Amino acid sequence: MISRIKGTQDFLDLSFYNFIIDQAKDHFGAYHFDEISTPILEPVELFQRSLGEHTDVITKEMFIIQEHAERSEAICLRPEATASTMRAFVENGVQVTPWKVFSHGSMFRYERPQKGRYREFHQINIEIIGAQSVSHDVHLITMLERFFAEKLHLDTFALAINYLGCANDRPAYREKLYAFLTSKKAEGICENCQVRREKNIMRVFDCKNPKCQEIYLKAPKIIEHMCQTCNQEWQSLQDQLQLLSVSFVVRTNLVRGLDYYNKTVFEFVSNDLGAQNAFCGGGRYDSLAKEIGAKQDCPSIGAAIGIERLMLLLENKKAQLSIAQPKALHVVMPMGAAQHTLALMIADTLLAAGLCTDVLLEQDSVKSMMRQANRMGAAYTLVIGDSEQQEKTVTIKNMITGTQETIKQIELVNYLKR
């Protein structure tokens, strides 16, 4: 037995997954976002430059594909989609901004698998590239909130927001944080945080260790060390969200895992998810364009929804969602090999008329074929034996009522479509 790779999944029924994607297409489409798709394979350098050399994704979690001798660049399976979307924007010379796009697909991170955490997982990514005003942040967050609350009827979630200041605010703040983390007040932070302090200081806030978190309650907060513009924008973000009736909590230790974020960051979380409680996260990334080689900065904001976690959250609510029921199934049953061609021709006619149709081509008794059709969830079975073939008829059985009648083949489509 060859098993699937650890941290990956087989989806044997995609109806729920597709329902979420369809709802997303409908909702984000209504907000005038276009669907795009970027490659799963990307240069490693794209993420090294954008996510930051010292982020967990880069140092521990990348799936790097063996380099081919004749190829100089290292290739990886994408760990996220924002850098790819920005690359696509720059590389294709998109001129119209704001560029409002969304995409969905597999992402790959070498993490320790657990409930809601996989090595291959799926995201819906939404980006507004070329979006200077903080009102874009409000618009995006509101759109997401409406998606979860109104489109998917989720009611057990919270929105956490924070503001990370701009590039000018960071150096002075980092110094203050460093002074705190090397002071007596921060004695006892874990080894990991001691490394983060030296390499990627703001990531200390991401630590899951309760002792560290208690210490960080007293740490200087970035929102208390921002320039006037950032202060105004931060206030405006909160005011506008309130006016639009989007509930939120301010979480001053929310920094998010990837280095490219600045200013607004946010997460949608739910206690129903356990340890991996975030099902959507995002923020502003004003300098990403330049980091990946664009000539100019291009202020932007985006978010990623974790589809598996959303599915976990919605699992108990499926009944309330209008997930499309499969179409009524018609099962054609030739009684012997002599009726196979006729069965295929009849199936072809039904399919051309838009009727969902399957054909049983194994040599079985009527009884076992009926049992199989039942297992398949057939609405009607269409038996074709010698006599039906000769008389150009079909014996139709309604699998719900059990009633049966024989009709002319030529009347079949009209009969089934009545």
Provide the binding-site residues for ligand AMP, judged by CB under 6 A. 80, 109, 111, 116-118, 121, 123, 257, 278-281, 304, 306, 308-309
Is the Cβ of residue 122 or residue 197 nearer to ligand AMP in the bound state? 122
* Closest to ligand AMP by CB, 117 or 290: 117
- To the nearest whole angstrom, how small is the minimum distance from the Cβ of residue 51 to ligand AMP? 10
Nearer to ligand AMP, 303 or 360 (CB): 303
DSSP assignment string, 252-278: TT---S-TT-EEEEEEEE-GGGTTS-E
Residue number, 82 or 389, with CB nearest to ligand AMP: 82
Q: Are strands 278-284 and 262-269 parallel, antiparallel or unpaired?
A: antiparallel
Q: State the residue for tokens 């007293």.
A: 218
Least distance (Å) between residue 109 CB and ligand AMP? 5
Which residue's beta carbon is nearest to the bound ligand AMP?
306
Tell me how crowded residue 134 is: count the other CB atoms within 10 A of its CB: 23
* H-run or E-run covering 393: strand 393-398
Closest distance to ligand AMP from the beta carbon of 123 (Å): 5
Q: Shortest approach of ligand AMP to residue 148 CB, angstroms?
A: 12
Closest approach of Cβ 119 to ligand AMP, in Å? 7
Q: Which is nearer to ligand AMP, 278 or 396 (CB)?
A: 278
Q: Closer to ligand AMP by CB, 116 or 130: give it.
A: 116
Q: How far is the CB of 205 from ligand AMP (least distance, A)?
A: 15
Cβ 80 to ligand AMP, closest distance in Å? 5
Q: Find the shortest distance in angstroms from Cβ 377 to ligand AMP.
A: 31
Which SS3 state, helix, strand or coil, does residue 3 take?
coil
CA 337 to chain centre: 47
Q: How far apart are CA 135 and CA 241, in angstroms?
A: 9
Omega before residue 299 within 30° of 0, cis: no
Residue 396 near residue 415 (C-beta atoms within 8 A): yes
Can you say how many angstroms the Cα of residue 134 is from the centroid of all Cα atoms in its chain?
24
378-404 CB burial, b ≥16 within 10 A, e <16: bbbbbbbbeebbeeebbbbbebeeeee
How many CA atoms within 13 Å lie on the side-chain side of 182? 10
Which residues, 6+ apart, have CB-to-CB distance to 331 below 8 Å?
A: 357, 358, 359, 360, 373, 376, 378, 380, 381, 382
Least separation, in Å, of the C-beta of 304 and ligand AMP? Answer: 4
> In whole angstroms, what is the distance from residue 174 CA to residue 167 CA?
11
- Residue closer to ligand AMP (CB basis): 258 or 350: 258
Contact by Cβ (8 Å): 327, 344? no
Using the minimum distance from each CB to ligand AMP, give the nearer residue, 81 or 226.
81
User: Between 105 and 257, whose beta carbon lies closer to ligand AMP?
Assistant: 257
